[in-house]
A and B are shown apart, each in its own frame.
Chain A
């Protein structure tokens, strides 16, 4: 049986040494969990990744929870997730506390003046990549366009838009199955 301590150290390492979010973490998780410790088979890991991408939440935390649960049940899941996010949370808290004292320095303000448009670009760029991955076509491109316009121009909440998408998806599924 896998020790909690090993589980903790492994996910602590994964959480601490990946910058750039969930997608950057996947190869590292695979290497540690499948190749190094042999805690899961390659197929099981791919299943865990697919499921984590399908379900709501944070990708890396979802994968950590599945691996932890598989190895040591509920407690294992808690240990893996906690280890995974411990350093990132402490680190960002430290920065949040320190940044308040630096943010009025002109040089820092200049930096963030340049960072804001860069952030908009970083949020806008994956739109095209994700649209391709979601299988966009002339027949279904109204879905992302309409949801973007509803939020942007009419100020509808994304939560409401997602709820409507789920409702419409279920209706469509029912209708399409009957046919």
Chain B
């Protein structure tokens, strides 16, 4: 039954999320898209986009939404999907919170001594690779030129590695990526503070507007 699978899957995701929301997105993507194939990469990207612009931690939003969508994709009715969403968000919190409540104080005193002082820097570096892999895995679906009757207009395309990529998508990627990685201090232009352009929420909303205008 998918509800049990959801519980177990998100239990594992919670336990292995080191280093914040993006690392949880990487793990949810691996489990929900790659391993269990409950959702397509494109559907998952949509869920992440919505989770960025609604209140609350991105990790818990994505877990809740992915849990809901996985049950819907299995062909079960809405009430069960709501239950699936609640199970996913409960499961993802269960092990980390138990750990922090049980051994938090003990670890706080020891986290700067071996073996933890050597373990945690390695984990932080590993997580960087995890997030990079998540972006690489999502890219093909995100850049693919649209097809189908309603979406025949995706503008000029580029053939790369045997697939048709949308140039508009590549352009949106480059703009959002550049704005995100330029250091904050370069956003003060002629006494104007343009730092809001770095906020994921603003970038998502601007991309949505671009989608409406371009396509």
Contacts and interface: CB of A to CB of B under 8 A. Distances in A.
Interface of A: 15-23, 25, 47, 50-62, 65-66, 69, 74, 77, 81, 85, 87-89, 91-93, 95-97, 99-100, 103-104, 106-107, 109-131, 133-136, 140, 143-149, 151-152, 155, 157-159, 161-163, 165-166, 168-170, 172-174, 176-177
A23 B11 CA distance: 23
7 contacts: A57-B14, A62-B97, A66-B100, A99-B50, A130-B22, A144-B126, A162-B127
A129 to B, nearest CB: 7
Interface string B68-106: 110010000010011001100100110111011100100
B172 A130 contact: no
Given A91-B55, A92-B51, A125-B180, A118 B203 contact: yes
A88 B124 contact: no
Interface string B10-28: 0010111111111011110
Contacts of A52: 100
Contacts of A106: 150-151
Of the candidates B20, B108, B129, B210, the one having the most CB atoms from chain A within 10 angstroms of its own CB is: B129
B206 to A, nearest CB: 8
Contact of A121 (B16, B27, B173): B173
A119 B56 contact: no
Main SS at interface, chain A? helix
A21 B99 CA distance: 21
A118 B176 contact: yes
A61 B97 contact: yes
Given A19-B201, A57-B97, A140-B125, A114 B211 contact: yes
Contacts of A161: 126, 129-130
Contact of B18 (A25, A124, A162): A162
A51 B69 contact: no
Contact of B16 (A56, A77, A134): A56
B87 to A, nearest CB: 12
A120 B95 CA distance: 28
Of the candidates A47, A65, A121, the one having the most CB atoms from chain B within 10 angstroms of its own CB is: A121
Contact of A174 (B34, B115, B166): B115
B115 A117 contact: no
Nearest to A130: B128
A83 B115 CA distance: 35
A170 to B, nearest CB: 6
A125 B177 contact: yes
Contacts of B212: 107, 110-111, 114
A168 B214 CA distance: 49
Interface in B36-81: 42, 45-46, 48-61, 64-65, 68-69, 72, 78, 81
